[in-house]
Amino acid sequence: MWKVAIIDDDRQVLKGMKQVIPWEEIGAELVGEGLNGERGLELIREKKPDIVITDIYMPVMSGMTMIETLRKESFEGKILIHSGYADFEVARQALRLQVEDYLSKPVSRNTITEVLLRTISAIEFDIQSKNEQEKLRGQIDEYEPFVRKEQLKTVVTGTASNWNEMTLLCKTRDDQSHIVLGIEILRTSRISDVRTQDRLLFRFAINNIMKEILQAEKRSYDYVELHGYHAALILHFEKNARYSEHIEHIRTIARKIIDCVQAYLDITIRIGIGRFTENWSNLSDSLEEAFQPLVPDVRVLQSTGVFEYESTEHSQYSHIQKTTKPIKFYQQLIEDIKTTQGKNAEKMIESYMANLRVSAIPPRFSLLGSQFWAIFSFALVDEDIRLTEIFQDHSMESELNKIFTFDQYEAWLHSIIQRICMNQHWQESFKHKMAIDFIKQYIRENYANDITIAELADKVYISRNYLSQIFKNATGETINNYIISVKMEEAKRLILERKYKIYEVANKVGYNNIPYFSTTFRKYFGITPAELLT
């Protein structure tokens, strides 16, 4: 049972909260209550609750002072503020003290239930993360740096934006040949219904199995996790390696990986083999080739689970894959949804469809759609975006069977991505909203000062890049543009009051350089400050 403590100086509120919370339903119990922050502090130290629900304005000791004391004592429980006041300063402090949520009085049964369930889920996630970290701590030194892994992913998927930046990453392998093995984890009941944290552990375990096998084979390699249940294993050979001379050895390695993963983890995987390349900039071609034999229309039952590109090179789907590079397309589209909520998705789909339309042989749209749906379903579940919930009123099989033209398939792709991104927008977190609201109000109150993004990021305890990203997503404009807009609107107001000279107005909104102020004003309004007065 999750332990909950309630702190409030209003006895009626305490009574109401105890009655309205569905304790058994959410698996929680009340371990104590207090009428002020001092009593609450004693209670929390004694009972160590998982969740604290507290008012702010209380006698003897305020809720905020109590929270500050708890954080100094390294209290790790989740804290929910339950207050009848909307206070900007309290919201700012709540961000700093990592308060989980801010509830306005009176709170409904549905709202408190939803917030508590979400908080309990956050606690479970934290516990699982800690357990996972403990398991991985002893082996963390074996991992490559995160940045290199991300760079390697862009190389193998062909999504690197600046190849010159990848030179240092790849130069140690420029005297070798490389071949990509595409790994697909089959979506059996063994892994489909497990939590995200468990899926991450499965992937880690598969990586370890491959590592042991390849070390025993004394084979140099790189491993890259892709979207969902796909990964790429890059094997390195001597320069000018020939496919015919090494394919049997590669098949043996692939079969060992498949057999060991099945034996030790009870997880079924399939492996597709691409072709050799000597140039890292062409590594994405080998990746596309490796996944071509794994598409739905060539799922021939093979006891080994090993599929080779050359055996399916002349198939219809092989031609389509060469033209459209779907693995690259899926990777780019998934990353765009995760980072920008699909702002570039429309152009990506249009580009993909343009390549698809030039195919000499019309594709089977039901096949393409099934592959798209399967990959996206399992790629986005790690972001807690579950397509089965978003599209529970849809029958994908029925929809795909009605698609016969390029235009219909393109429209279907757009509709799927649009609905996914809309769902992400609805799920904007409370903490993000509080951070953005605080930043906007802080700018409005301090526009006369030289405000920097670094300063703002420090105030809400978010990195500069991440703050810039969520601010742009939430408001549609950059932080710097928002600062300028606040300054210019205030300058216009002051000028129209006709109480101050233009240089005085410039100083009041934070500009010491009068010509620069006038230029910015004209760029924003289309007229100079002087023209505004005429």
Reported confidence tier of residue 302, pLDDT bands at 50, 70, 90: very low
> Highest-confidence range of 48-52, 123-127, 427-431, by mean pLDDT?
48-52
Share of the chain above pLDDT 70, in %: 81
Query: Which fold would CATH assign to domain 2-128?
Result: Rossmann fold (3.40.50)
CA–CA separation, 437 and 87 (whole Å): 12
Task: Give the model confidence (pLDDT) of 141-200 as tens digits.
Answer: 444 455 567 677 878 877 766 655 555 555 555 678 999 999 988 877 777 666 655 666
Q: How far is CA 63 from the centre of its chain?
A: 33
What fold does the segment set 428-525 form as a domain?
Arc Repressor Mutant, subunit A (1.10.10)
- Residue 317 pLDDT exceeds 60: no
d(CA 78, CA 2): 11
Residue-wise pLDDT for 350-377, tens only, equals 988 888 888 666 777 887 787 788 777 7
- pLDDT for 166 equals 57
Most confident of 80-89, 211-220, 381-390: 211-220
432 or 172: whose pLDDT is higher? 432
φ, ψ for residue 168 (rounded to 5)?
A: -60, -35
Q: Is the pLDDT of residue 527 over 70?
A: yes
More confident residue, 126 or 461: 126
Element containing residue 53 per DSSP (H, E): strand 51-54
pLDDT (0 to 100) of residue 433:
67
When pLDDT is cut at 50, 70 and 90, the band that residue 254 belongs to is very high
Closest CA to 53 of 113, 129, 1, 130: 113
Residue 217 has pLDDT above 60, yes or no: yes
Question: Which residues 6+ apart lie within 8 Å of 30 measured at CB?
Answer: 4, 5, 6, 18, 21, 23
Average pLDDT of span 233-251? 91
Q: Average pLDDT of 232-246?
A: 90
CATH architecture of 174-311: 2-Layer Sandwich (3.30)
DSSP β-bridge partners for residue 289: none
Mean pLDDT (whole number) for 42-70: 92
* Domain edges within the chain: 2-128, 174-311, 428-525
Whether the per-residue pLDDT at 427 is higher than 60: the answer is: no
The pLDDT, as a whole number, for residue 95 is: 76
Q: Over the stretch 461-472, which tens digit does the pLDDT of each residue have?
A: 778 888 888 888
pLDDT, the chain, mean: 81
Are 174-311 and 428-525 equal in CATH topology? no
How do residues 401-421 score in pLDDT, each as one tens digit? 888 888 998 999 998 888 877
pLDDT of residue 382 exceeding 90:
no
